Structure 1
Amino acid sequence: MSPRRSYDQYCSAARALDTVGDRWTLLIVRELLAGPRRYTDLHADLPGVSTDVLASRLKDMERDGLAARRRLPPPGAAYVYELTSRGRRLLPVLQALGEWGQAELGERRPTDAVRAHWFALPLLRALEGEGIVEVRLEVGDFHVYVGAEDGPVYGEGPAPREPDARLVLDAGTWEAVSRGETGLPQAVREGRAEVTGEGTLAKALRQQAL
């Protein structure tokens, strides 16, 4: 476990950066917002991180009370990492950081990795209420838990139960929403995003698009 480096400043922002300011730490939090993840799953969804750095960051996050490691019961019997309540409180930090960084996205570069669930946090910023929204993109499917106060914020693949709304977006549309160039209601109104379902979230999206 690497020794903690510190800015040695009596400032809450500096203290926070002492804990989460290392490269990859906040992106690991982003992945763990989906719930418990195995080390191999984390490594697969963090392209560019070395195994040594990932292992080191996870140990640091355990030490700092951001994440915990536990063994799944049989027949899984694998070790998973999950956020603690303190780690989950970084969600609004990531949301604010993502909103601030919208202007930095620009057009997707040929070297840019992409995962469908990376759109989960930008999408949550555009949704209000409570319920599950299932999302289908060209790069894959995922679902988000709108208004969830604990537990996973999103998950890969189809929703575990009948969702309150289903969304289908093409690549250009979800990239534009991620960049803040268009709002979700506008995309629905223009026919660039398809909403189906009879839940309150689906009805709200259709109403907002009028």
Structure 2
Amino acid sequence: MSPRRSYDQYCSAARALDAVGDRWTLLIVRELLGGPRRYTDLHADLPGVSTDVLASRLKDMERDGLSTRRRLPPPGAAYVYELTARGRELLPVLHALGEWGAPALGELRPTDAVRAHWFALPLLRGLEAVGAGEGLVEVRLEEGLFHVWLGGAEEGPLYGDGPAPREPDARLAPDARTSGALNRGTSTLLEELREGRVAVTGEGPLAKALREV
């Protein structure tokens, strides 16, 4: 393992950047907020990262107490990476970076990779701002399905790829224009819900609350 690089500045921001300032580190955190991931899964959802750089960043994150590696019991018998409590504390940092970076998104470029679950964190911010309560929400985009846990997920995953693992408390289906506007920060989920541009289905309290905002 390479020695830890440091700015050697007695400043909390500099200390934070010692741990997460390298390219790809915060994006690995973004992926691990969705729960334990295998190395191959991380590599598939971080297009552009080399295998050497990904392995190096994961080792650095483990050394710095941001993540751990554990072996799944049989029949899985694979290693997975997951965030520690210290690593999960980076969620507000990613929220702030996402809000700050939203105006720079612009339109999707031909060279831009995209994954449905990359919309999970902006959507969580929007759902929390609406204040509709807690529950499991399944979201359908043109890019695919994902699900998010709203509230109460202090230790478990915040989101996941694919259909919800159980009957969701609400299902959302924003159209392409709406999901783009929410990603870029040019509109809010509250505005889109009130304008009827996000289809909400489900009979639970969360779905009803989202329809009545």
TM above 0.5: yes
Q: Match of 2:140?
A: 136
The answer to whether 1:167 aligns with 2:172 is yes
The answer to whether 1:91 aligns with 2:86 is no
The answer to whether 1:157 aligns with 2:162 is yes
Note the alpha carbon deviations across 1:54-83, whole angstroms, 9 max, x for none.
000000001001010011001111110000
Residue 33 of structure 1 deviates from its aligned partner by: 0.4
Q: Match of 2:4?
A: 4
Per the normalisation by structure 1, the TM-score is 0.96
Identity %: 81
Structure 2 Cα separation of the partners of residues 30 and 173 of structure 1: 23
Residue 173 of structure 1 deviates from its aligned partner by: 1.3
Q: Match of 1:103?
A: 103
Structure 2 gap segments, 5+ residues each: none
Deviation larger for 160-169 or 26-35: 160-169
Q: Match of 1:65?
A: 65
Q: Give the alignment of 1:1-210 within 5 angstroms.
A: 1-128=1-128, 129-147=133-151, 148-208=153-213
Residue 2 of structure 1 deviates from its aligned partner by: 2.1
Amino acid in structure 1 at the alignment position of 2:89: R
Residue 189 of structure 1 deviates from its aligned partner by: 2.9
Structure 1 Cα separation of the partners of residues 204 and 5 of structure 2: 48
Residue 191 of structure 1 deviates from its aligned partner by: 3.1
User: What secondary structure, in the 3-state scheme, does the structure 2 residue paired with 1:186 have?
Assistant: helix
Q: Is the 8 A contact 1:185 1:206 kept in 2?
A: no
Structure 2 Cα separation of the partners of residues 78 and 170 of structure 1: 37
- Between Structure 1 and Structure 2, how many residues are aligned? 208
Structure 1 Cα separation of the partners of residues 189 and 22 of structure 2: 33
**CA RMSD in angstroms, aligned pairs only:** 1.0
Structure 2 Cα separation of the partners of residues 174 and 31 of structure 1: 20
Residue 190 of structure 1 deviates from its aligned partner by: 2.7
Q: Is the 8 A contact 1:134 1:166 kept in 2?
A: yes
Structure 2 Cα separation of the partners of residues 162 and 61 of structure 1: 35
Residue 199 of structure 1 deviates from its aligned partner by: 2.2
Structure 2 Cα separation of the partners of residues 103 and 185 of structure 1: 18
Structure 2 Cα separation of the partners of residues 46 and 2 of structure 1: 22
Q: Which structure 1 residue ranges, 4+ long, deviate > 6 Å from structure 2?
A: none
Amino acid in structure 2 at the alignment position of 1:25: T
User: What secondary structure, in the 3-state scheme, does the structure 2 residue paired with 1:101 have?
Assistant: helix
Structure 1 gap segments, 5+ residues each: none
Structure 2 Cα separation of the partners of residues 186 and 112 of structure 1: 27
